């Protein structure tokens, strides 16, 4: 839900308004965390929110602007109307229920699981 709410806001604020860089992306990344152990039963899936900015500006400046954006995002979520929230929920449900549009997207989804060493191909349905 966080990625759904923040996607357009991150691009608009960080790319359009602040003009921090040509490439600005925000979203979720699933990863496998082994917490110091080799890939085994101790490993677990983690989903992390991240913001990627390709820029020539110093990393400290980018970090400062990202922190400011996260504060603004938090305020917008707190002040979100029930109607806007419902619209985001229905949009998220629709995007999660869509089948992949082309074979490359579907293949990429499967290879992510194969590469991780965990073969939970229905991970998106579980979360």
Classify domain 2-126 by CATH number. Answer: 3.30.830.10
Q: Where are the domains of the chain?
A: 2-126
CA atoms within 13 A of residue 24's CA, in its CB half-sphere: 21
| Cα torsion through 91, 96, 100, 101, rounded to 10 | 0
Tokens of 110: 């499967």
Give the Å distances, CA to CA, from 111 to 45, 74, 114, 118, 120: 15, 34, 5, 10, 11
Cα of 13 vs its chain's centroid, Å: 16
Q: Write down the pTM of the prediction.
A: 0.71
Q: 51-96: per-residue pLDDT in tens? A: 999 999 999 999 999 999 999 999 999 999 999 999 999 998 888 7
pLDDT of 3-61, one tens digit each?
989 999 999 999 999 999 889 999 888 776 655 555 555 556 677 899 999 999 999 99
């Amino acid at each position: 839900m966080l990625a759904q709410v923040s996607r357009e806001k991150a691009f608009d604020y960080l790319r359009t308004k602040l003009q921090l860089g040509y490439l600005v992306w925000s979203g979720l990344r699933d990863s496998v965390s082994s917490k110091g152990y080799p890939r085994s039963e101790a490993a677990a899936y983690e989903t992390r929110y991240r913001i990627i900015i390709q820029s020539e500006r110093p990393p400290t400046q980018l970090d400062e602007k990202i922190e400011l954006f996260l504060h603004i995002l938090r305020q917008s979520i707190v002040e979100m109307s029930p109607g806007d929230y419902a619209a985001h929920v229905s949009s998220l449900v629709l995007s999660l229920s869509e089948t992949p549009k082309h074979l490359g997207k579907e293949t990429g989804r499967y290879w992510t699981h194969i590469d991780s060493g965990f073969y939970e191909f229905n991970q998106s349905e579980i979360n």
